[in-house]
Amino acid sequence: MRKPELQEFVVNNPLWKDRLSPLLKGQHFMQQLGLQLTVVEPGYVEAEMPIQPLQRQALGFLHGGISASLCDIVSGIAAFNLVREDQHVVTGEIKISYLNPGIGDRVRAVGWVLKQGRMISFCEADIWVFNGAEEIHVARASSSMVIIQQPIIS
């Protein structure tokens, strides 16, 4: 697995790292999955987690819903790292292509912004499962992350 070539991005918030930290503390789904971010850059994210028995489907394969969720999470964070302080991102569309059954003990999700826009960022993500030293490319996703004004929660 090698890192995709990335374009130069406009980082609209120089304090993006400070903004990301409290957001991640509220990501209970990530915590339930045991997903840990390992690389976080503007427009690029990697994350890993052990595969738990409940995350498997028939014959021990990584469940497709888990793969889709991981693609959504890493793509969303990659896009979020580029937006202004008063903006957020939501998934507008995501398409997952399942390439191979994922049998292994841990999974890596890699997400990146393919094209940054003012209202939409186009992203891609890959899912890799590790079975010992063997890397298995399980899924590839394409998504549109819609940039929105951060809602006021009272």
Quick check: is 87 in a domain? Answer: yes
pLDDT score of 16: 85
Confidence of residue 2 (pLDDT cuts 50, 70, 90): low
pLDDT score of 91: 95
Pair 47, 27: CB distance under 8 Å: no
For the chain, what's the residue count?
Answer: 154
Structural domain count, the chain: 1
Quick check: is 124 in a domain? Answer: yes
Q: Residue 141's closest CA among 98, 106, 101, 102?
A: 98
Quick check: is 94 in a domain? Answer: yes
pLDDT score of 49: 94
pLDDT score of 21: 80
pLDDT score of 45: 94
Q: How far apart are the first and last CA of the chain?
A: 44
Return d(Cα 62, Cα 67) in angstroms, integer: 7
What global pTM score does this model have? 0.89
Quick check: is 3 in a domain? Answer: no
Quick check: is 10 in a domain? Answer: no
Quick check: is 141 in a domain? Answer: yes
Please report, for the domain that includes residue 60, its CATH number: 3.10.129.10
Domain that holds residue 115: 16-20+27-149
pLDDT score of 154: 56
Per residue in 12-42, pLDDT (tens digit) is: 888 888 888 877 777 888 888 889 999 999 9
For residues 87-102, average pLDDT: 93
Quick check: is 5 in a domain? Answer: no
Residue 16 identity (one-letter amino acid): W
Q: Residue 99's closest CA among 137, 57, 59?
A: 137
Per residue in 36-79, pLDDT (tens digit) is: 999 999 999 999 999 998 888 888 889 889 999 999 999 999 99
Quick check: is 4 in a domain? Answer: no
pLDDT score of 81: 92
Averaged pLDDT of the chain: 89
Residue 125, pLDDT > 60, answer: yes
For residues 110-117, average pLDDT: 94
